[in-house]
Structure 1
Amino acid sequence: MSNSSPFARRSSASLTVPRGDVLGEYETYPEAQKVVDRLAKAEFPVKGIAIVGSDLKTVERITGRLSYGRAALSGAASGAWLGLFFGMLLFLFSPEPQLSFILAAAFIGSGFGMIFGITTYAINRRRRDFGSTHQVLASSYQIIIDPSQTARARQALAGGSTWPPPLPETAPSDAPTSAARPLDAPPAGGTEADADSAAGPAADESATKR
């Protein structure tokens, strides 16, 4: 379940358990993986999201009872694949490539694999007389995300919304701009008589002073 390379440089953050908001909790890893995949397809910045498995358990599944025949067939199949690989290398880098190299290498690898399988079964027969596969599973898987991105992630998972969300449009102002009115101009909706009556007291006062 890990795609990390053994040659990648480990930072101090990779050695600690991620902390943040729990975007969701799922019973299986594929379910949590699908959620992260949906975020990636919605062009959400998935860098920094972590899938944390809790309560790890080792599961051993029994595939069946072993026998000399099963051990021989399993060893022969493994050896044949290994011989086929080396046969392809000989075929590609040989100055005179021939298909017989591949067949011979697969046949020899199958024989050695069969002998190895029978020998291993004979040694471990008393302690282990069955075949099995091992898995490390978690009881639950949580998707941990940065708290500042939680709302955006839930919006992206809701569907029907584009990412990034459009910016809100600013409504145009409907208030009319009032033009400057000269001091001696009559008020709006008034007449010239109104203007003369308004200027009358000022004229009488100036005449009195004279």
Structure 2
Amino acid sequence: MQAASSVMPLKYPMSVAVYPTYADAQRAVDHLADNDFPVQDLCIVGTDLKQVERVLGRRSWGRVLAEGAMSGFGTGLFFGLMMMVFMPALGATSAFSLGLLMGIGMGVITAGMAYAASGGRRDFSSVQAIVATRYEVLGEHTVVNRARQMLGQNPVAQPAPTQWPPTPSDPQEHA
């Protein structure tokens, strides 16, 4: 994991504005860029993170084995091509078909073993994501007031008086 300072190289970031969507924050930065603002002194940060898990459906033996066959199909294509190259005596069609069957078989067996080992826990499939519920435009302390003024001309902007992280009373003393 990267240190925050390498991802967000601002020395004393302060909040410029907070938006409900990433698109709104992006439009605000674009507005500043269109008006010759030094956007290299800004960052967009997703805040109030939440983990969301979307349940896609129930898992059954048939579905698990079908998914295993699908995942084994790609491996089987690779095996088939390798067998065609390294076992020309089998014939191209036979070598390719055998490799494809091996891959699909391995996918079905692996998926079946994993499902059986789960013992009925999590009999559903899902996808997970980490999402932000707010997006904050941060700026270097030296440009924040100008950015807030410029965004005040933009109806999308909601200037924020807060700062994150808190800056020292005299930024020059840390320079």
Structure 2 length-normalised TM = 0.59
Describe how 1:26-41 pairs up with structure 2 within 5 A. Answer: 26-33=19-26, 35-36=28-29
Distance 1:149 1:108, change over 3 A: farther
Query: Quick check: 1:133 aligned with 2:153?
Result: no
Contact 1:80–1:108 (8 Å) recurs in 2: no
**Following the alignment from structure 1 to structure 2, what is the Cα–Cα distance between the partners of residues 56 and 124?**
30
> Secondary structure at the residue paired with 1:63?
strand
Relative contact order: is structure 1 or structure 2 higher (C-alpha 8 Å, sep ≥ 6)?
2
> Secondary structure at the residue paired with 2:121?
coil
Describe how 1:127-206 pairs up with structure 2 within 5 A. Answer: 127-150=121-144, 151=146, 154=150
**Counterpart code for 2:139:** I
Aligned residues: 147
> Secondary structure at the residue paired with 1:47?
helix
Query: Quick check: 1:14 aligned with 2:2?
Result: no
Structure whose alpha-carbon radius of gyration is higher: 1
> Can you give the 5+ residue segments of structure 1 that lack an aligned partner in the other structure?
1-5, 159-210
Query: Quick check: 1:124 aligned with 2:96?
Result: no
**Counterpart code for 2:72:** G
**Counterpart code for 1:14:** S
**Following the alignment from structure 1 to structure 2, what is the Cα–Cα distance between the partners of residues 143 and 38?**
12
Give the aligned partner of residue 49 of structure 1.
Answer: 42
> Secondary structure at the residue paired with 2:62?
helix
Structure 1 length-normalised TM = 0.51
CA shift for structure 1 position 30: 4.8
Distance 1:78 1:37, change over 3 A: farther
Task: Report the aligned-residue RMSD.
Answer: 4.1
Give the aligned partner of residue 202 of structure 1.
Answer: none
Give the aligned partner of residue 72 of structure 1.
Answer: 65
Contact 2:32–2:147 (8 Å) recurs in 1: no
Counting strand residues as a fraction of each chain, which structure ranks higher? 2
